[in-house]
Amino acid sequence: MPVNLGEALALARGRIDNVDARILLREATGATAAQILAFPERGIAPEAARRFCDWLARRVAGEPVAHLLGGREFYGRPFRVVPATLIPRPETELLVELALDRLQSTQAPQILDLGTGSGAIAVSLALERPDAAVCAIDYSPEALEFAQHNALALGACVDFRLGSWYAPVSERRFDLIASNPPYIAENDPHLGQGDLRFEPLTALASGPDGLNDLRHIVAQAATHLLPGRWLLLEHGYDQAEAVRLMLETAGFRAVASWRDLAGIERVSGGHL
C-alpha cells in the first residue's frame, strides 16, 4: 500500500497510462496536479491509498476512468457517466461548436438531439443557447434517466423523450438536428478492446458497415427539418465520404465534412 504520492505513481507506472494515473491519484487524495508532481513525498491517508489501489486494479483490467470516477468533462462542464451511456468524448465537442455556429442568426431555435445518451450534446446546446427549445431522444430508459440528472445538475432546460429516433416527435420540425449515433461496424475488433468493452454495444455498433442508424437518420430528416435548416452527424474516421453521399442523395445542400483536432473528418452535414 503506497504511503505517499511518489509511491502511488510508482505503483501505477508501466501498468496504466501516466495521465490516467495522475487523474486517479488526484481524485483519490484530493491533491492537485501540481502537488502530485512537485511533492512526491507528501503522505497519503490509508483510506485514500486503498481507494487509489482499487481504482488502479480496475483500470488495469480495462475499466474506463470515466466509469471509475463516475463522470467526464464535456464542453467545460462535468457530466455524470454510467455504463448505460456512451462516455462523452472531446471530438464530439466539434458537433456542438458546428451547431452553435449554424444557429447564430436564429432566434429561439428548435433543436433536436437524437440518441442523447448522457445528454452531453443536448445539455451543452441548451446552456450555450438559453433561448433554444432543445428536445433530446433516447430509446434507453436508463440512459435517459442519467441525461435528465445531468440536465438538472447543470441547470439546463431540455425536453427529454423516450423512443426510437424520430418516433417521439413525429409531427415536429426543427431548426437543427444533431446526432452522435452508433457508427461502428458490428464485427469491428475494436469493440472488444479498451474502453469500448465497458460501454453499451447498442450505443456503438450499427450493422455490418456501421451505417445503419446514420442511413435511417438521414432518410427521415427532411420531414423533421424546417426549410433551409441543418442536419449535423458525427461518424467514424473512415465514413465521411459515405455520409456525404447519403446527404446529397437525400437532397441536402452545402454538404461538407469537418475535421476534429486530430485532423479526422468527424462530422458531416448539410441543409435543405
Domain that holds residue 45: 5-61
- Any known ligand binding at 236? no
Residue 240 confidence (pLDDT): 97
pLDDT higher than threshold 60 for residue 39: yes
Task: State whether 31 and 95 are in the same domain.
Answer: no
For the chain, give the mean pLDDT.
92
Among 15-19, 108-112, 185-189, top mean pLDDT goes to 108-112
Work out the angle at residue 205's Cα, subtended by the Cα atoms of residues 204 and 206, and round it to the nearest 5 degrees.
130
Task: State whether 105 and 52 are in the same domain.
Answer: no
Task: State whether 54 and 90 are in the same domain.
Answer: no
- Any known ligand binding at 180? yes
Residue 199 confidence (pLDDT): 62
- Any known ligand binding at 4? no
Mean pLDDT over residues 163-192, rounded? 86
pLDDT tens for each residue of 144-168: 999 999 999 999 999 999 999 999 9
- Any known ligand binding at 140? no
Task: State whether 189 and 122 are in the same domain.
Answer: yes
DSSP-assigned beta bridge partners for residue 16: 13
Task: State whether 148 and 262 are in the same domain.
Answer: yes
Q: Is residue 74 part of a domain?
A: no
Q: Is residue 66 part of a domain?
A: no
- Any known ligand binding at 115? yes
In the block, residue with C-alpha cell 417521439: 168
DSSP 214-261: HHHHHHHHGGGEEEEEEEEEE--TT-HHHHHHHHHHTT-EEEEEEE-T
List the CATH number of the domain containing 103.
3.40.50.150
Q: What percent of the chain has pLDDT over 90?
A: 81
- Any known ligand binding at 181? yes
Q: Is residue 113 part of a domain?
A: yes
Task: State whether 54 and 178 are in the same domain.
Answer: no
Residue 130 neighbours by CB under 8 Å, 6+ apart:
157
- Any known ligand binding at 182? yes
Whole-angstrom distance, CA of residue 91 vs CA of residue 16? 23
- Any known ligand binding at 237? no
Task: State whether 50 and 97 are in the same domain.
Answer: no
Task: State whether 114 and 194 are in the same domain.
Answer: yes
- Any known ligand binding at 116? yes
Q: How many domains does the chain have?
A: 2
Q: Is residue 76 part of a domain?
A: no
- Any known ligand binding at 170? no
Q: Is residue 42 part of a domain?
A: yes
pLDDT tens for each residue of 71-87: 999 999 999 988 878 88
Task: Specify whether the CB–CB gap between 138 and 120 falls below 8 A.
Answer: no
Q: Is residue 79 part of a domain?
A: no
- Any known ligand binding at 119? yes
pLDDT higher than threshold 90 for residue 207: no
